[in-house]
């Protein structure tokens, strides 16, 4: 999830564990600790861009990392707050919860989270977009209301519990809505007699009303979307895999890294003599089948036997207002 959401979650967890003893300092510590797993983006500056992508949400989002770091953070915190009688084990527990809830929340999004590192499996429930105001804003409001009260005030803990309950219930709701939506897509595909190997259903940005589906077949992908305000049947657009367009570049370690990162959800396209690797999991900027523009694309180049992948600065991603307008219009139904 986005940084603000992770700060709010970490702060609320810190308040729940130590708020009665140290008040708003628990909120501060929890917010700081809750952002630590995402510091792997800074570590990525020491690697090439593709490797940096591959390590994101890896070791720093694993239970192994939390088990190693929590005692250190707990020891530091207990010494800083020894006058408030913050015990070592209580501080370790708070640190572990702040770190673990960060990664568990991330696992509900589309980008996989390697909770069980060093095992390569990446958890990705794909029920919530990385930024969702309906999750974050009520949570933030309750946290602010709690922070305004004295640490001994029972209403402070009540406000914090309300925030945790609302956010947790909303997260549970996203899972239910996703399952219902998946059933709708499966019924639609059966009606249209579309045979497929894999199907993923994921929310569009900022909401859980509009959902996108990627349907993998032997020769390509069908892409479709569904809004709960739709009045017409779901339509699908087919995109060939285009693997042959890579030629010998497909055997390079760079392309293999991109395939691992995309979890096999990709197509290859060519435009103006250039070859592009497109990650399907994050959708399209436009839906023109003849000239599709994907949210995440990488230009593949071969020079002196070495393949380089450069992320494309898509024009559509820069036109944020127009993109948001199209999104709102589509959410309203077809």
pLDDT at 227 over 80: yes
pLDDT at 46 over 90: no
Q: Which residue has the tokens 């009540």?
A: 158
Q: Quick one: pLDDT at residue 66?
A: 98
Residues in the chain: 334
Give pLDDT tens digits for 313-333. Answer: 765 555 667 788 889 999 999
Q: Quick one: pLDDT at residue 283?
A: 83
As a whole number of angstroms, the distance between CA 14 and CA 30 comes to: 4
Please give the average per-residue pLDDT across 152-171, as a whole number: 97
> Higher pLDDT residue, 172 or 46?
172
Give pLDDT tens digits for 57-88. Answer: 999 999 999 999 999 999 999 999 988 889 99
**Percent of the residues in the chain that have a pLDDT greater than 90, as a whole number:** 81
Give pLDDT tens digits for 235-275. Answer: 999 999 999 999 999 999 999 999 999 999 999 999 888 99
As a whole number of angstroms, the distance between CA 302 and CA 69 comes to: 42
Q: Quick one: pLDDT at residue 316?
A: 55
As a whole number of angstroms, the distance between CA 279 and CA 11 comes to: 34
CB-based contacts of 270: which residues, under 8 Å, 6+ apart? 242, 245, 276
| Bond before 138 cis per omega within 30 degrees | no
Q: Quick one: pLDDT at residue 73?
A: 98
pTM: 0.92
């Amino acid at each position: 999830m986005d940084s603000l959401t992770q700060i709010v979650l970490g702060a609320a967890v810190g308040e729940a564990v130590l708020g009665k003893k140290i008040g708003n300092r628990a909120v501060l510590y929890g917010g700081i600790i809750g952002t630590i797993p995402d510091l792997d983006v800074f570590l990525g500056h020491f690697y090439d861009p593709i490797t940096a992508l591959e390590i994101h949400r890896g070791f720093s989002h694993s239970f192994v990392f939390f088990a190693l770091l929590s005692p250190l953070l707990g020891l530091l915190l207990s010494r800083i707050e020894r006058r408030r009688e913050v015990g070592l084990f209580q501080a370790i527990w708070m640190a572990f919860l702040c770190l673990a809830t960060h990664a568990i929340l991330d696992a509900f999004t589309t980008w996989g989270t390697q909770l069980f590192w060093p095992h390569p499996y990446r958890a990705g429930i794909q029920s919530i977009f990385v930024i969702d105001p309906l999750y974050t804003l009520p949570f933030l409001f309750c946290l602010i209301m709690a922070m305004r009260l004295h640490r001994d005030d029972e209403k402070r803990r009540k406000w914090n519990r309300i925030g945790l309950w609302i956010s947790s219930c909303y997260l549970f709701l996203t899972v239910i809505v996703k399952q219902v939506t998946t059933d709708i897509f499966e019924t639609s595909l059966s009606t249209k007699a579309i045979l497929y190997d894999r199907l993923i259903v994921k929310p569009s940005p900022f909401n859980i009303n509009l959902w996108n589906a990627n349907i993998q077949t032997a020769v390509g992908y069908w892409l479709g979307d569904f809004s709960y305000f739709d009045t017409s049947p779901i339509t699908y657009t087919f995109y060939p895999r285009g693997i042959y367009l890579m030629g010998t570049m497909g055997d390079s370690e760079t392309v293999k890294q991109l395939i691992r990162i995309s979890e096999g959800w990709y197509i290859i396209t060519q435009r103006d003599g250039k070859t592009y690797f497109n990650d399907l999991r994050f959708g399209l900027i436009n839906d023109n089948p003849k000239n599709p523009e994907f949210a995440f694309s990488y230009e593949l180049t071969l020079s002196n036997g070495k393949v380089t992948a450069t992320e494309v600065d898509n024009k559509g991603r820069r036109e944020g207002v127009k993109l948001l307008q199209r999104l709102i219009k589509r959410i309203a139904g077809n």
